[in-house]
């Protein structure tokens, strides 16, 4: 078996070694700029285990190359499966020197999982006003994210894909950073500059299928069965995915190592803090709903363990969407992810804030969404928008609320209730790009964010910023939002008001109470159960006019809870609560 340091182009001071896995080849040559692409100059030597090796004295960083693989009469010109850089998805591999980049002493540490606010973004559209977005343009946008307060960005796939525009879930070259995004140095620069601002980075990886187009891995060395993909893929019924017959063979040692090496590369060579695995149900099953590929499950656990051996606190998230607790279990039969995207939150919360009629809001579903738990409060990623939730026939939350005016009072009011619930409920909160300034257009890979809305709805951006500060306990007053303890204090089905309590260790600047009015009614002197008596400081009021001139500005203030039991709790207080508004109090 190889590893990242011993596969592909292995750059040294004396030249470059090349190693490739091609077990069915009768001969392999390496060709490139260093030998004028002469396919007989540098034959590779079989290691008698499916691997081939050659050392080329004159090969150096920046030169292009390929492998010429012969299988009988078949002659194939293939890109290096481990190529760290390519000219484009149908071009050539490029010898790349990872050590040449100046990290400027970067030693960024992974934040604790209870101290994360994730911002999911698509490189091609995040900052793309003057042309297609690049990693350089994302770097230019880091100051916006730093001011917003998020401390983790999640990049939709940056592996080289077919063409120059894509969501990224069609990887053609897994080890190469997309050339139209700027390639490997541009990603390293983004990570380095993000770290300087206290922002960690997660990359999206696609291991449930490869390609399906511009895929040199397909029948890589000329061998296949049943007309299928050859050595990197299943060649039987297990090959079938919704994206083509391109599921990797998780049971083959060389393929398992290939995926493991790829995961470790992002951690070791690009200094990222973690990975988000795309649609893991299609790794453990053919149809995404059963468990008929057990080796896909064990691969996830093995790779996760290997990553943690390198980066112990690595952020490892699964897009599983089946609510299976074992996905985030460290038990022997668990997959070992640190968190999973949670459908128990997004669907009921999104439905609650987009319902037209207040009477149709299911408060019990909201309570269940807040309280759902896989065993640890931070085993789940919670959100109201993601790239999947705002595309392919699905709209942005503000558009679903008011399709005629997605910047209306109703759109602002109810979408920000979704923000409150996302950023105060137990779990790891995630935002999707533009959500903070009410982006109303559904996601496409060729339509940039409308940054004019960041100026138009600057107050809403401030609302998100204030919520994020509370969630991360930036001011040292809301530690409870980072804690494991959550209890529902009040849930009134008819009044559409819910209140809940968050705590870590308990006490001053820890205990936190969140009160949410999901109805279009102003309440004065409304009684709410409290976890204990004493002084409680108002930290957030979503109805404040500082967030929008057309908000009601319902006055709210600090309160004193008295020993007067309510709803089974020992204390209570009264609050004034604006329509479609939320209040956050902490013990003081």
CB 45 within 8 A of CB 11: no
Q: In sequence order, what DSSP letters do the residues of 230-278 get, joined into one string? A: -TTB--SGGG-BTTBS--B-TTSHHHHHHHHHHHHHHHHHH---EEEES
Q: Closest Cα partner for 105 from 194, 196, 23?
A: 196
CA distance 398 to 412: 7
Q: Average pLDDT for residues 471-486, to the nearest whole number?
A: 98
Indicate the burial class of 223 (C-beta count within 10 angstroms; 0-12, 13-18, 19 or more).
middle
Q: Closest Cα partner for 440 from 470, 410, 469, 468?
A: 410
Kindly tell me if the per-residue pLDDT of 474 is higher than 80.
Answer: yes
CA distance 270 to 268: 6
Pairing verdict, β 200-205 and 274-277:
parallel
> What DSSP character marks residue 443?
P
Rounded mean pLDDT of the chain? 97
Q: Closest Cα partner for 210 from 89, 331, 33?
A: 89
Dihedral angle sign, alpha carbons of residues 302, 307, 311, 317: negative
Residues 6+ apart with CB under 8 A from 12: none
pLDDT tens-place string over residues 363-386: 999 999 999 999 999 999 999 999
CA distance 261 to 306: 9
Kindly tell me if the per-residue pLDDT of 312 is higher than 90.
Answer: yes
pLDDT tens-place string over residues 67-110: 999 999 999 999 999 999 999 999 999 999 999 999 999 999 99
CB 39 within 8 A of CB 68: yes
Task: Supply φ then ψ for residue 151, to 5 degrees.
Answer: -120, 15
What pLDDT is recorded for position 131?
Answer: 73
Q: Closest Cα partner for 425 from 379, 496, 369?
A: 369
The string over 411-443, giving b where at least 16 C-beta atoms fall within 10 Å of a residue's C-beta and e elsewhere, is: bbbbbbbbbbbbbbbbbbbbbbbbbbbbbbbeb
To the nearest whole percent, how much of the chain has pLDDT over 90? 97
Q: Closest Cα partner for 251 from 268, 232, 271?
A: 232
CA distance 31 to 187: 28
CA distance 198 to 192: 10
What pLDDT is recorded for position 128?
Answer: 87
pLDDT tens-place string over residues 214-259: 999 999 999 999 999 999 999 999 999 999 999 999 999 999 999 9
Tell me how many degrees the CA angle 342-432-264 measures, rounded to the nearest 5.
70
CA distance 59 to 34: 5
Q: Angle formed by the axes of helices 363-371 and 409-424, to 10°?
A: 40
Residues 6+ apart with CB under 8 A from 389: 346, 350, 383, 432
Q: Alpha-carbon dihedral of residues 429, 430, 431, 433, nearest 10 degrees?
A: 160
Kindly tell me if the per-residue pLDDT of 559 is higher than 80.
Answer: yes
pLDDT tens-place string over residues 167-215: 999 999 999 999 999 999 999 999 999 999 999 999 999 999 999 999 9
> In angstroms, what CA-CA distances link 38 with 15, 260, 580?
18, 33, 71
Q: HEC states along 169-197?
A: CCEEEEEEECHHHCHHHHHHHHHHHHHHC
Dihedral angle sign, alpha carbons of residues 270, 181, 12, 69: positive
The pair of three-digit structure tokens given for residue 581, joined into one six-digit string:
């508004």
Strand partners, 27: 70
> What DSSP character marks residue 157?
P
Q: Closest Cα partner for 523 from 552, 563, 485, 484?
A: 552
The pair of three-digit structure tokens given for residue 567, joined into one six-digit string:
């709803």
CB 273 within 8 A of CB 282: no
Kindly tell me if the per-residue pLDDT of 391 is higher than 80.
Answer: yes
What pLDDT is recorded for position 3?
Answer: 54
Kindly report the pTM of this predicted structure.
0.97
The DSSP element (H or E) to which 434 belongs, if any, is none
pLDDT tens-place string over residues 13-72: 999 999 999 999 999 999 999 999 999 999 999 999 999 999 999 999 999 999 999 999
The pair of three-digit structure tokens given for residue 203, joined into one six-digit string:
């990359």
Task: Supply φ then ψ for residue 5, to 5 degrees.
Answer: -75, -15
Residues 6+ apart with CB under 8 A from 284: 291, 293, 294, 296, 297, 300
Kindly tell me if the per-residue pLDDT of 4 is higher than 60.
Answer: no
The pair of three-digit structure tokens given for residue 465, joined into one six-digit string:
């910023």
Strands (E), 57-187: 64-71, 74-78, 93-94, 118-121, 152-155, 159-161, 171-177
Task: Supply φ then ψ for residue 172, to 5 degrees.
Answer: -100, -35
Kindly tell me if the per-residue pLDDT of 132 is higher than 90.
Answer: no
Q: Average pLDDT for residues 391-420, to the nearest whole number?
A: 97
What pLDDT is recorded for position 33?
Answer: 98
Q: Average pLDDT for residues 555-567, to the nearest whole number?
A: 92
> What DSSP character marks residue 124?
H
Please report which confidence band the pLDDT of residue 1 belongs to, taking 50, 70 and 90 as the band edges.
very low
Strands (E), 122-168: 152-155, 159-161
> What DSSP character marks residue 40?
T
Kindly tell me if the per-residue pLDDT of 337 is higher than 50.
Answer: yes
CA distance 445 to 432: 14
Q: In sequence order, what DSSP letters do the residues of 105-121 get, joined into one string? A: T--PPPPPGGG--EEEE
CB 486 within 8 A of CB 426: yes
Please report which confidence band the pLDDT of residue 476 belongs to, taking 50, 70 and 90 as the band edges.
very high
């Amino acid at each position: 078996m190889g590893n990242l340091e011993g596969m592909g182009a292995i750059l040294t001071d004396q030249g470059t070694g090349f190693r490739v896995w091609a077990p069915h080849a009768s001969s392999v040559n390496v060709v490139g700029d260093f030998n004028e692409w002469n396919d007989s100059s540098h034959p590779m030597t079989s290691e008698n285990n499916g691997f081939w090796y050659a050392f080329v004295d004159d090969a150096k960083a920046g030169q292009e190359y390929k492998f010429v693989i012969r299988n009988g009469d078949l002659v194939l010109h293939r890109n290096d499966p481990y190529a760290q850089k390519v000219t484009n998805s149908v071009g050539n591999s490029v010898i790349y020197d990872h050590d040449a980049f100046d990290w400027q002493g970067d030693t960024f540490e992974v934040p604790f999982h209870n101290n994360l606010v994730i911002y999911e973004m698509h490189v091609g559209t995040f900052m793309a006003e003057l042309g297609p977005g690049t990693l350089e343009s994302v770097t230019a946008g880091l100051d916006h994210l730093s001011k917003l307060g998020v401390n983790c960005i999640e990049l939709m796939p940056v592996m080289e894909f077919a063409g120059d525009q894509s969501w990224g879930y069609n990887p053609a070259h897994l080890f190469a950073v997309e050339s139209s995004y700027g390639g490997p140095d541009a990603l390293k620069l983004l990570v380095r500059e993000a770290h300087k601002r206290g922002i960690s980075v997660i990359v999206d990886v696609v291991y449930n299928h490869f390609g399906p187009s511009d895929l040199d891995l397909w029948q890589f060395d000329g061998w296949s069965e049943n007309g299928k993909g050859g050595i990197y893929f299943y060649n039987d019924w297990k090959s079938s995915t919704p994206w083509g017959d391109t599921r990797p063979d998780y049971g083959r040692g060389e393929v398992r190592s290939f995926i493991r090496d790829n995961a470790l590369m992002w951690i070791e060579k690009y200094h990222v803090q973690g990975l988000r695995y795309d649609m893991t149900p299609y790794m453990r099953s053919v149809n995404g709903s059963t468990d008929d590929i057990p080796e896909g499950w064990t691969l996830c656990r093995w790779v996760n363990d290997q990553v943690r051996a390198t980066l112990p606190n690595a952020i490892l998230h699964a897009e599983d969407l089946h609510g299976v607790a074992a996905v985030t279990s460290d038990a022997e039969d668990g997959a070992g992810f640190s968190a999973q995207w949670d459908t128990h939150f997004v669907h009921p919360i999104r439905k609650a804030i987009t319902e037209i009629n207040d009477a149709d809001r299911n408060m019990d579903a909201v309570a269940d969404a807040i309280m759902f738990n896989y065993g640890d409060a931070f085993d789940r990623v919670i959100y109201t928008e993601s790239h999947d939730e705002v595309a392919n026939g699905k709209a942005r939350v503000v558009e679903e609320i008011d399709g005629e005016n997605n910047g209306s009072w109703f759109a602002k009011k109810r979408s920000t209730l979704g923000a409150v619930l996302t950023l105060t409920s137990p779990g790891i909160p995630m935002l999707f790009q533009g959500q903070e300034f009410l982006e109303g257009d559904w996601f496409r890979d060729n339509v940039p964010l409308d940054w004019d809305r960041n100026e138009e709805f600057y107050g809403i951006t401030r609302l998100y910023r204030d919520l994020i500060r509370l969630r991360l306990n930036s001011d040292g007053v809301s530690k409870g939002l980072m804690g494991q303890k959550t209890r529902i204090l009040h849930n009134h089905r008819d009044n559409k008001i819910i209140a809940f309590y968050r705590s870590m260790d308990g006490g001053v600047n820890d205990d936190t109470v969140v009160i949410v009015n999901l109805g279009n009614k102003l309440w004065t002197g409304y009684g709410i159960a409290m976890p204990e008596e004493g002084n409680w400081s108002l930290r957030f009021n979503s109805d404040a006019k500082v967030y929008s001139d057309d908000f009601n500005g319902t006055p709210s203030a600090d309160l004193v809870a008295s020993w007067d039991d309510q709803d089974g709790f020992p204390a209570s207080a009264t609050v004034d609560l604006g329509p479609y508004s939320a209040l956050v109090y902490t013990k003081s």
